Amino acid sequence: MRSLLPEMDAPLTFAHLSDPHLTSPAGASLRELVGKRALGYLSWRLRRHRRHRAEILDALVRDLEQVKPDHILISGDLVQLGLRHEFEQARRWLAGLGPPSRLTL
C-alpha cells in the first residue's frame, strides 16, 4: 500500500514558541481592568513587563527569518490580558511571521 504522505527529500523543520505574551496592556482604561484583569495588570506592572519585552520578540523574529523553519507552532498566551487592542497587535505580529498555512496556534 502506498503512503498517503508525499515523499520528501529533506526533513521538515519546526519552530515552537511558547507563551510569547506579544503585547503590552499599557494604556488600558480602568473600565477594561475589571475583575481578574486587574490582578493580571498588577502582575504585569510589578514583574512580567521585565520578562516579556518587545526587543526579545524582535530578536526571535530575526532568528526565525534566518533559520526559515517550514512551520511555526505557537502555544500558550499570545497576549497579556485579552484586551481588544492586544488582539489587534497580536494579529499584526502573527501576519509578519508568514502565511497562515505556516502557522499553528
* Mean pLDDT to the nearest integer, 4-14: 76
Give how far the C-alpha of residue 99 lies from the chain's centroid of Cα atoms, to the nearest Å.
14
Of residues 26 and 92, more confidently modeled: 92
pLDDT in tens, 61-87: 999 999 999 999 999 989 888 888 889
pLDDT in tens, 28-55: 888 888 888 888 888 877 877 777 788 8
* Mean pLDDT to the nearest integer, 8-23: 86
Which residue has 516579556 as its cell numbers? 52
Domain-by-domain residue ranges, the chain? 14-104
Residue 18 forms beta bridges with which residues?
75
Burial class (CB in 10 A: 0-12, 13-18, 19+), 23: buried
